[in-house]
Amino acid sequence: MSNTLIKLENIQKIFFTDEVETHALSDITLTIDKGEYVSISGPSGCGKSTLLSLLGLLDASTEGLYQLAEHDVSNISKRERARIRNMEIGFIFQSFNLISDLDVEENIELPLTYRKDLNKAQRKTMVDNALAKVNMSHRAKHFPSQLSGGQQQRIAVARAIAGNPSIILADEPTGNLDSKNAEAVMELLDLLHAEGATICMVTHDPRSAQRAARNIDILDGQVISDKPLSKENKSNTIVAA
């Protein structure tokens, strides 16, 4: 069995709005292996979020081939896409995107309720585990509006990992957080990576980017550099922080 989790070939994404074509992504080819920790960086508007949306099946590419775990997912039904998002992918957003009508537990449980293979008790265990992992068990009954930004993002991480996805996609997870809270979230991601999770993270912040093992640089919808980060670099950053 191959170790490749994600394989993109000649991916293009064009947005058509009011007769204006925006080439958000042009000709992206890359592979990501199981267990990798990849950071994606580049200037604003270069297509990072678009790439992440494609990876997460939140949107479809205009051209190109996308294989996820050796299955072609470029042309599958909407229902199948939803199922894959649910089972295989965990999202962490810059703006947390918790649902304010639901309390912390319910927010985390939400993606699990979309699965047919879990009963109430199993879901409860998974929610509790996730909450424990992000160290938020004491806030289970709170509503999002009663939590700080850092706490909300930790709940969002818990929600992303509760279903044991094969890949975690994070779009500027620390963008709305101060450095202390950002640090806590980054450490959580480190921990998840250490436990074997595949992580794909968009970030502006070079210090956060340094935590990954591989950095992809994008400019104008194209990959301009794709290189592994040295161990020293990483440890240096940790020391510096």
Ligand X SMILES: Nc1ncnc2c1ncn2[C@@H]1O[C@H](COP(=O)(O)OP(=O)(O)OP(=O)(O)O)[C@@H](O)[C@H]1O
In angstroms, rounded to a whole number, what is the distance separating the alpha carbons of residues 37 and 190? Answer: 9
Give 46 or 156: the residue with its C-beta nearer to ligand X: 46
Edge-to-edge strand ranges of the sheet holding 167-171 = 89-92, 167-171, 198-202, 37-41, 214-219, 222-228
Window of 30-38, 99-107, 206-214, 217-225 that interacts with other proteins by CB under 8 A: 99-107
In angstroms, rounded to a whole number, what is the distance separating the alpha carbons of residues 41 and 219? Answer: 9
In angstroms, rounded to a whole number, what is the distance separating the alpha carbons of residues 182 and 141? Answer: 24
Contact 90, 167 (CB under 8 A): yes
* 18 contributes a contact to ligand X by CB under 6 A: no
The item of ligand X, other proteins, Mg ion, none sharing an interface with residue 24, based on CB under 5 to 8 Å by kind, is ligand X
Q: Are strands 214-219 and 222-228 parallel, antiparallel or unpaired?
A: antiparallel
Residue 64 CA: distances (Å) to CA of 12, 44, 67, 74, 217: 6, 24, 10, 8, 20
The item of ligand X, other proteins, Mg ion, none sharing an interface with residue 71, based on CB under 5 to 8 Å by kind, is none
* 234 contributes a contact to other proteins by CB under 8 A: no
**Minimum CB separation from other proteins for residue 237, in Å?**
29
Q: From the list 70, 82, 178, 233, which residue makes contact with other proteins (rule: CB under 8 A)? A: 82
**Minimum CB separation from other proteins for residue 221, in Å?**
16
Give 48 or 133: the residue with its C-beta nearer to ligand X: 48
In angstroms, rounded to a whole number, what is the distance separating the alpha carbons of residues 181 and 97? Answer: 17
**Minimum CB separation from ligand X for residue 42, in Å?**
6
Q: How many CA atoms lie within 13 A of 4 on its CB side?
A: 12
Give 49 or 151: the residue with its C-beta nearer to Mg ion: 49
* 116 contributes a contact to other proteins by CB under 8 A: no
**Minimum CB separation from Mg ion for residue 44, in Å?**
7
Contact 202, 49 (CB under 8 A): yes
Restricting to residues 43-62, name those near ligand X by CB under 6 A. Answer: 44-50
3-state secondary structure of 139: helix
* 159 contributes a contact to other proteins by CB under 8 A: yes
The amino acid that residue 167 corresponds to is I
Enumerate binding residues for ligand X (CB under 6 A): 15, 17, 22, 24, 44-50
Enumerate binding residues for other proteins (CB under 8 A): 49-50, 53, 56, 58-60, 78-79, 82-87, 89, 91, 93, 95-102, 110-111, 114-115, 144-145, 149, 152, 159
